[in-house]
Structure 1
Amino acid sequence: MTLAINRRAFLQASAATGGVFALEFTFPATALAQAKAAAAPAEVTAWVLIHPNDSVVIRIARSEMGQGSLTGLAQLVAEELECDWSKVSTEFVSPNEHVKRKRIWGSMSTGGSAGIRTSQEYVRKAGASAREMLVSAAATQWKVPASECTVDKGVITHTASKRRVSYGKVAADAAKLEPPDQKTVKLKDPKDWKIAGKSMRRLELPDKVLGKPIFGVDVQLPGMLHASIVQSPVFLGKVKSIDSAAAEKMRGVKGVVKGDGWVAVVADNWWRANNAAKALKIEWDEGANGKVSDETIKALFKAGLDEKNLPEAKKVGDVGPALAAAAKVVEAEYYSPYLSHATMEPMTSTAWFKDDGMLHVWTSTQNGEASMAAASEAGGLPLEKVEVYKTMLGGGFGRRGAPQDYVRQSVVIAKQFMGKPVKLIWSREEDMQHGFYRPASLVRMKAGLDAQGNVTAFQSTIACPSILALLRPEGIQKGIDFTAVRTLSDMSYTIPNQLCEYAQKNPHVPVGFWRAPGLQNAYYRECFVDELAHAAGKDPLAFRLAMMKPDDKNRLVLEAVAKAANYGAPLPPGVFRGIAQSDGFGSFTAMVAEVSVNPKGEIKVHRVVLAIDSGYVVNPDACHAQAQGNVIFCIGQFYQGHTIKDGRVMESNFHDFQLPRLPEMPKVETVFASTGGFWGGHGEPGALCVAPAILNAAFAATGKRIRSLPFKPEELVKA
């Protein structure tokens, strides 16, 4: 049978049949057979469900936004479980059940490249515990010691008698057993891995190719209403007055909901809701921020750099006298702007107050617990009365983590339409102009060189907003937001005198976690170190290596990338190299970029080689994809930037906030310089070196330094 159906019709038909929301769909020809075969799964542990037909469902607490951690986490569980990988599928953990079971699944937050590295131990133990319980159940049936049994691909064998039984046959009995003490559960030596550490197929990709997974914007529910929102153009502004008469008369409009700093129109479809929202006549109270601009913000940062007695993020030796005694002092200021996350899927959330008193929320979220807490607060209900259904994410990069503003809004709106589901989708313009942006920052660096060109002192002062002050104020320690100073406060270079200071300056523009928070500091530091190498008349690679200890992992990845890139070998005419190194998010990275610059000053990145030591690599193919994604994502920094004028963000869509295009994608080679013994991340560490490696290569090509982003190509035109 050939089925011809488009994605939209498929989703609408699926929602219409019985009014049940599902993340997976099956075709009628096989549905009954599959349902029968997969009946009555046994929950062996909270993480592992096993069906009678031996299929295994592994529960995932973290979110999947294209980074591949869903598959990586499943690999770790399956490795210890010793199941058949071809029979593995996954399901997201229910946040409601998570609360009721006293947070049995650990953290549900997905960010900071922490999905695998901070949960690897307990998810592996979940798999190992389930394996022990299954073997014990089989051994009890056979009346033999469990130590006489072995497991391979979900089949338990009693070595002496050759009796065999599959997991599906003993799962129900195993589920009745007490789980082993987690302190005594033994994990495999990584050298014995058969599933983890291999480039196994991504579990969610086949369905994505078929358009089967549901993203937040895809949710369809019976009788669903749609909401479009208009927010104060000036951050922190409030609604002063509203004339909604014209909007409320428009076709399909069901009502207008007013929030403190926003107004939403609810209609029978989103197109009508959005058109009606444009017809609203709103007078805004802009407050004291209506005159804030790039110029006033930069002036605020500049004043911060000049302040005395700033909080010190790091102090080693005595920088002042060392700079005074230096043979040469090099000083520079670097700047970067606010940046939007620019996810392909705009902010969206669907809320439904049901007649039974439960609030149900469907959303693309990086933290199911945070979404549930936001919905609970906005809905005035206890956590136990809220259920959140995590969907796939059309991009996150930190935007869908801590803020949860769009979830709160959807709940407030739905509260005015009790008994009906309401889906809120932000327009692209609202999404672009009402984010929690990567902080703008201004950094001043000063270093002293002795007569031999060695760095004797390094001073840095960072002026920028604090993400933690806005989203996690308890994280501020002694006036320091570690995300604002990282890379400058924890340098791997062995410089005898160091001082890193932080001037916390918080304009009204909301800031949040953006891919690799503190990313700009790697750009600043590594370009400035390149300036120091040039001032010392030394090769940038040799200059860096001379400041590193022999056993430093930063040094090892730097040497690995130089070898892989054939550093020092002749390049094609017009092509130049740049190099950078940085650690962060649990991993150590170094990068070489090969770049040409045309007569117009336009950069062409031909090749990027990334070396990374994350300790262990769970899925090499997924990690290579992360390296590629980091490179193209960060190339956008060269021309992306938000303009603040009259208290608001001026850029509104992809016509004036461009995303990198396919022709800009260079060849990316990944070197896994893994040393083992620790667990690092991959989603963000690879982003740290992209800008400095490329811009250092651009300097080699043109002799021009780029100290402020975004830049104009004419800045790189040779004199």
Structure 2
Amino acid sequence: MSKQVFNNKRRAFLIGAAMTSVGALFTVAGCSPNKNTQQSGGPAVAANSGGQELNVWITIRPDNKVILKIPQTEIGQGGLTSISQLLAEELDVKWSDVMPEFYDPSVNLANNNVYVYTATLGSGGISNLTDPARIAAAQIRSMLIHAAAKRWNQPADTLDTAAGSVLHKASGRSILYADVAADAVKMPVPDPKTVLLKSPDKWQYIGKSVPRVDIPSKVDGSATYGIDIYFPGMKYAAVRQSPVFGGRLKAFDATEAKKHAGVIDVVRIKAGPSGSNDPTPGWGADFGMDDAVAVIADDWWTAKTVLESLHVEWDEGSFANANSKAIAEDFQKALAQPGSGMKVVRDEGNVDAALGKAKRQFEATFSVPFAEHAPMEPINCTAIVRDGGVEVWAGSQYPDEALRIAAKAANVSVEKVRLHPVLAGGGFGRRINSDYVSQAVQVAQAVKGTPVKLLWTREESIRRSYYPPYTLSKFRAGIDGHGKLIAWESASVGGRAQDQSYGTARLPHLIPNIRVSYEMRTTPPPFGWKRGVGFSQHHWMNQYFLNEIARASGQDPVEFQLALLRADELPQNIEKRDLALDRIVALRRVLEKLRDTVKWPVKSSPGRGRGIAVHDQSYWPEYSAAASAAMVEVSMQKDGLKVDRVVVVIDAGRVVNPNNAIAQIQGGVAFGLTDFLYSQISLENGKVVQSNFHDYPILKMAAMPSVEVHFLPSEAHSHGIGETPVPLVIAAVANAIADAGGPPIRGLPVTAHGVQVA
């Protein structure tokens, strides 16, 4: 754990050097956000509030308030609160004294990733930051104790802390952290391997449903999202990219546009990098951004209106004639006649021989379309470019990479860029890419010294996104005379993306003969991670096909799956056997708990059905993830499908904030139901058909089912849960429709395949 700890002198030098350089660039009169645009997330933190910085995580103010730097973007997941709980717990301060702020990416880069994990993606915040945050706070608490011990000439082990004070119980003396902070920073930093963490029986905040710090300002409207950033003298920009992915800007005539009152300039934006979309070594990729044109004006409506009337010539490139029907036909041919592009990614036993001996065989083909994230806040970014550097305000899910992209766009070193993370109105993976940051910086270069807010229309946000790939998968399976599943084969063809084969290959069930193949084909849209990632596309296929086999062979779906999750049948030679064993045990445990909780099985009445699914976000054998199971109840009414009830059982390890975790699961259920029912991006003549919520709908509040969440008690390391409910609920609701006597589900969204929604 030494990565998040640093030598105090080195830290002071590095941070001092970094902040001196950015401070010289950005202390310009009139170029700080107004009082309504401070970084939001909890109790307001006054600018230049002073205080003693003890490390990059924690600053103690003279009034004993504690500023906590949170290396996550608040996109609605509650990270500002839960990470603050970890820090406040080990620091031992009053919750009312906690003042969370977003971290500074410049400091993180200057200190070689001192925060360990700053990307808000993959449910990684809690799982990756629990140890670094707790250890950093515990180190500071120890330093405060030693500073007080030196002042009082007492042994450090006779001192304790409580509510932001150091205590000497024998004499009754106490001293506020603020009064000893300047001395504490001079103390040696404790070894992270030996620093003492509080035991669970002494926890005040971890495991408690502390109210979220960002909610009050969001309720009363005072919260500042990226779209709310304002500066005196600010200009506004609207942007249009090639309507065909990969298109290039040929020419535009700005003569008439520049005559329009309020128009400042019309700017060409060059194609280029959009940044790595994952900090995991070997997983990050840059799918780039296309050319664009922007109109800068005194107000955004003028910029948007003039841009709409601007005549632009595009070279639409190789995807000019692309359409969804042709892509589907191409994928069908690839499945029917696999070529060299089809790679076997998992091969165990002898599938062909087992299928030949099977008493009964099953086949099915499933599809998933391109889909957009649809966060409520449209894409936006504010930037100022000066001769000395660049300053950016963005609700990025990956601020470190956004900073690097800003530097690239301005052709300056990263030391000359300051990026301010701000509240984001949803992300779901879309705000990992930093195309809009590059665009904003390029636009701001045209009006140096003037802040510019770049704001996409909803139509631009939906049509020019980074989508998960269109996917087509074919399954075959066989059972023996006793109804046991003895063979399983799946082959998938997916669009341009990072490797998505784990979606089908990470099937945890113990099937003696299994073969999984995957092929990626070039499709127009650039790839982007989306909530639930590859599992949202593939997991429901696995679970639905398993359910279909069980029902067709007269077996109960729960018992059928439990029979395939037997630890005593795990082969001895399986890769990472101990981890595979833990995985099977956890999945079996949540499924059994779900069975008992919902009193499964219950005979369904006509038109009503129950479906189950079990899942974890295990990307590779070494990856440890929350195990979950869900039951969904639906009714098939005369006017269509209605989802009535969702029950989730989850083993997420130690849950830092139960109410927040429940909210995450409820939100994931809503997101998953949206994908299942509605989400579809289609192409015609190279262009995206959908444009706004009228033709790209999301689940409405009136259609939200009741959601019950049951956490299995655990003292294990905390797992992320934000992604898990999406693929889980998609699979469970598909199985519930089958139980209700509905049509076979062969493609998403179901409303595009004949299922009507009540």
* Alignment TM-score > 0.5, same fold: yes
**3-state DSSP class of the match of 1:453?**
coil
1:323 aligns with 2:355: yes
1:535 matched to which residue of 2?
552
Distance (Å, rounded) in 1 between the aligned partners of 2:202 and 2:332 = 55
Amino acid paired to 2:712: A
Q: How many residues align?
A: 680
Relative distance call for 1:195 and 1:17 in structure 2 (3 A) is same
2:654 matched to which residue of 1?
616
Q: How far did residue 677 of structure 1 move?
A: 2.2
8 Å contact kept, 2:630–2:648: yes
1:392 matched to which residue of 2?
423
Amino acid paired to 2:66: V
Spell out, residue by residue over 1:186-232, the C-alpha distance to the aligned partner (whole angstroms, 9 max, x if none): 32344543211110011111122232232111111122111101111
2:63 matched to which residue of 1?
53
2:630 matched to which residue of 1?
591
What is the aligned counterpart of 2:691 among 642, 646, 652? 652
Q: How far did residue 131 of structure 1 move?
A: 0.8
1:92 aligns with 2:102: yes
Distance (Å, rounded) in 2 between the aligned partners of 1:75 and 1:404 = 29
2:437 matched to which residue of 1?
407
8 Å contact kept, 1:612–1:686: no
Greater mean deviation of Cα atoms: 149-158 or 320-329: 149-158
Distance (Å, rounded) in 2 between the aligned partners of 1:270 and 1:641 = 29
2:599 matched to which residue of 1?
566
Amino acid paired to 2:613: A
**3-state DSSP class of the match of 2:754?**
helix
What does 1:280-679 align with in structure 2 at a 5 Å threshold?
280-305=310-335, 306-308=337-339, 310-355=342-387, 357-401=388-432, 403-468=433-498, 481=499, 484-518=500-534, 519-550=536-567, 552-569=585-602, 574-584=607-617, 586-600=625-639, 602-637=640-675, 638-679=677-718
Distance (Å, rounded) in 2 between the aligned partners of 1:466 and 1:523 = 21
1:228 aligns with 2:238: yes
Relative distance call for 1:339 and 1:716 in structure 2 (3 A) is closer
1:9 matched to which residue of 2?
none
Distance (Å, rounded) in 2 between the aligned partners of 1:23 and 1:603 = 48
Relative distance call for 1:440 and 1:350 in structure 2 (3 A) is same
2:214 matched to which residue of 1?
204
Distance (Å, rounded) in 2 between the aligned partners of 1:147 and 1:509 = 61
1:155 aligns with 2:165: yes
Q: How far did residue 53 of structure 1 move?
A: 1.9
8 Å contact kept, 1:41–1:51: yes
Relative distance call for 1:237 and 1:102 in structure 2 (3 A) is same
Distance (Å, rounded) in 2 between the aligned partners of 1:604 and 1:145 = 67
Spell out, residue by residue over 1:61-113, the C-alpha distance to the aligned partner (whole angstroms, 9 max, x if none): 11110101111111111111111112111011111222223322222211000
Q: How far did residue 571 of structure 1 move?
A: 5.9
Amino acid paired to 1:450: D
8 Å contact kept, 1:139–1:149: yes
Greater mean deviation of Cα atoms: 207-216 or 52-61: 207-216
8 Å contact kept, 1:487–1:583: no
Q: How far did residue 178 of structure 1 move?
A: 2.3
Relative distance call for 1:703 and 1:430 in structure 2 (3 A) is closer
Spell out, residue by residue over 1:238-269, the C-alpha distance to the aligned partner (whole angstroms, 9 max, x if none): 12221222222211001101134211111001
8 Å contact kept, 1:345–1:394: yes
Spell out, residue by residue over 1:8-34, the C-alpha distance to the aligned partner (whole angstroms, 9 max, x if none): xxxxxxxx99552157679xxxx99x9
8 Å contact kept, 2:122–2:723: yes
What is the aligned counterpart of 2:748 among 704, 709, 716? 709
Q: Which runs of 5+ in 1 are unaligned?
A: 1-15, 469-480
Spell out, residue by residue over 1:546-604, the C-alpha distance to the aligned partner (whole angstroms, 9 max, x if none): 1112561001111112222222245676432110111106211110001101124x211
1:476 matched to which residue of 2?
none
1:471 matched to which residue of 2?
none
Spell out, residue by residue over 1:443-477, the C-alpha distance to the aligned partner (whole angstroms, 9 max, x if none): 11111111111110111111102432xxxxxxxxx
What is the aligned counterpart of 1:174 among 160, 181, 184? 184
What does 1:109-188 align with in structure 2 at a 5 Å threshold?
109-188=119-198
2:53 matched to which residue of 1?
43
Q: How far did residue 303 of structure 1 move?
A: 3.0
8 Å contact kept, 1:304–1:505: no
Distance (Å, rounded) in 2 between the aligned partners of 1:456 and 1:424 = 56
Q: How far did residue 183 of structure 1 move?
A: 2.1
Q: How far did residue 156 of structure 1 move?
A: 1.9
8 Å contact kept, 1:23–1:213: no
Relative distance call for 1:552 and 1:466 in structure 2 (3 A) is farther
1:695 matched to which residue of 2?
734
Relative distance call for 1:415 and 1:647 in structure 2 (3 A) is same
Spell out, residue by residue over 1:317-347, the C-alpha distance to the aligned partner (whole angstroms, 9 max, x if none): 1211111111111111100111011111111
2:86 matched to which residue of 1?
76
Distance (Å, rounded) in 1 between the aligned partners of 2:339 and 2:363 = 18
Percent same amino acid at aligned positions? Answer: 36
Distance (Å, rounded) in 2 between the aligned partners of 1:56 and 1:463 = 52
Q: How far did residue 169 of structure 1 move?
A: 1.8
Relative distance call for 1:504 and 1:59 in structure 2 (3 A) is same
8 Å contact kept, 1:45–1:129: no
Distance (Å, rounded) in 2 between the aligned partners of 1:713 and 1:275 = 34
Distance (Å, rounded) in 2 between the aligned partners of 1:714 and 1:405 = 34
1:238 matched to which residue of 2?
248
Relative distance call for 1:39 and 1:265 in structure 2 (3 A) is closer
Distance (Å, rounded) in 2 between the aligned partners of 1:665 and 1:35 = 39
Greater mean deviation of Cα atoms: 489-498 or 459-468: 459-468
What is the aligned counterpart of 2:299 among 238, 263, 269? 269
Distance (Å, rounded) in 2 between the aligned partners of 1:135 and 1:689 = 47
1:3 matched to which residue of 2?
none
Amino acid paired to 1:559: E
Distance (Å, rounded) in 2 between the aligned partners of 1:249 and 1:200 = 55
Q: How far did residue 714 of structure 1 move?
A: 8.1
Relative distance call for 1:254 and 1:18 in structure 2 (3 A) is closer
Q: Which runs of 5+ in 2 are unaligned?
A: 1-27, 271-290, 568-583, 619-624
Distance (Å, rounded) in 2 between the aligned partners of 1:47 and 1:269 = 38
Distance (Å, rounded) in 1 between the aligned partners of 2:544 and 2:320 = 35
Relative distance call for 1:110 and 1:133 in structure 2 (3 A) is same
**3-state DSSP class of the match of 1:264?**
strand
**3-state DSSP class of the match of 1:119?**
helix
